[in-house]
Amino acid sequence: MKTSLLFDFTVDKKNHSVKVTREFSANKNLVWRTWTEEELLDQWWAPKPYASITKSMEFKPGGRRLYKMQGPEGDEHWCFAHYSSIDPKDSFSYSDGFCDSEGNKSDFIAGSDWTVNFSESEGITTVFVEIQHQSLEDLEKIIEMGFREGFTTCIDQLAELVKQNN
């Protein structure tokens, strides 16, 4: 069994993207479920002390997730994910962005396109995430807002959740 699990977070300014690779000591089915079932997703998607609270989620091509990240003082940041493709237990793609509580897109910052891939070998599941932004300016803005730190915290929370449920 591997004792050191891979984690890589790369910002590719030339292609306006972020690439994240993370290994988990768990089977692919469990890791897939943490990304695709709202009860599990809400347990790790927001960096603490924020909480992820899903209002609605329809995980299917053409479906969407509407959720908020709620802060400890009650502040709310609404977001959406529109699922475009799903290859069960192997990959899915979606576009995301900020919105209001009814899912109406905000002009606060342009959204991004996510592709999430899963593979398993010898009890280790690797998740590869690629997040494509429309422009270098959009990418730099999201990084400036703390995306690297926030998403790293979330991925660490996911690792803990997987460990507890394995």
pLDDT grade, residue 3 (50/70/90)?
Answer: low
Give the model's pLDDT for residue 89. 96
CATH number assigned to the domain covering 7-165: 3.30.530.20
Give the model's pLDDT for residue 5. 87
110, 133 Cβ separation under 8 angstroms: yes
Q: What is the mean pLDDT of residues 75-84?
A: 96
C-alpha 30: how far from its chain's center? 16
